Amino acid sequence: MGKNIMVFTLGGQSFGLEAVKVESILHQPPVKALEVGETNVIGVSEIHGKEVRVYDAYAILHLPAPANKTETVVAMNTSAQNTVAIPIDHADGIVDAQDSELNVIPEILNYVPIQYLSGVVSHNGKLILLLDPDAF
């Protein structure tokens, strides 16, 4: 038994989300800045009729910001039934990760704040860091 993982690139690194937690992948809607700034929040966008916080995943995950403005966001569902979004470099597709490919987070990944990760998938020789939507 395995899990379907939606894989995307962020700052040149492969990340993933359990496909059931992905609400949508879409062209970035307009982002409105918040009146009172919050750390690592770019602003809010309207996605599927809901106001959604858009987080700066590059800053949160200590990744280099893209040279060009990203045009794609992934909207993620949290366990509290909220939706949050992050800009991404590009979507790479869905992989079926077998249970044997799902691992705990190795300590070698100390450059990424561990609280934003739920695990690691090693799929076809590629290391995919799994994001935890509840951490945003």
Please report, in tens digits, the pLDDT of each residue of the chain (136 residues total): 678 999 999 988 899 999 999 999 999 889 998 877 778 999 999 999 999 999 999 999 988 888 877 788 999 999 888 899 999 999 999 998 877 767 766 655 556 787 888 888 888 888 898 999 999 9
Q: What is the CATH number of the domain that holds 16?
A: 2.40.50.180
pTM value is 0.84
Q: Which of 133, 135, 121 is nearest to 13 (CA)?
A: 121
Please name the residue that has the structure tokens 């959604």: 52
Torsion angles phi and psi, residue 38, rounded to 5:
-115, 140
| Residues of the domain holding 126 | 2-135
CA distance 127 to 46: 32
Give the number of domains in the chain: 1
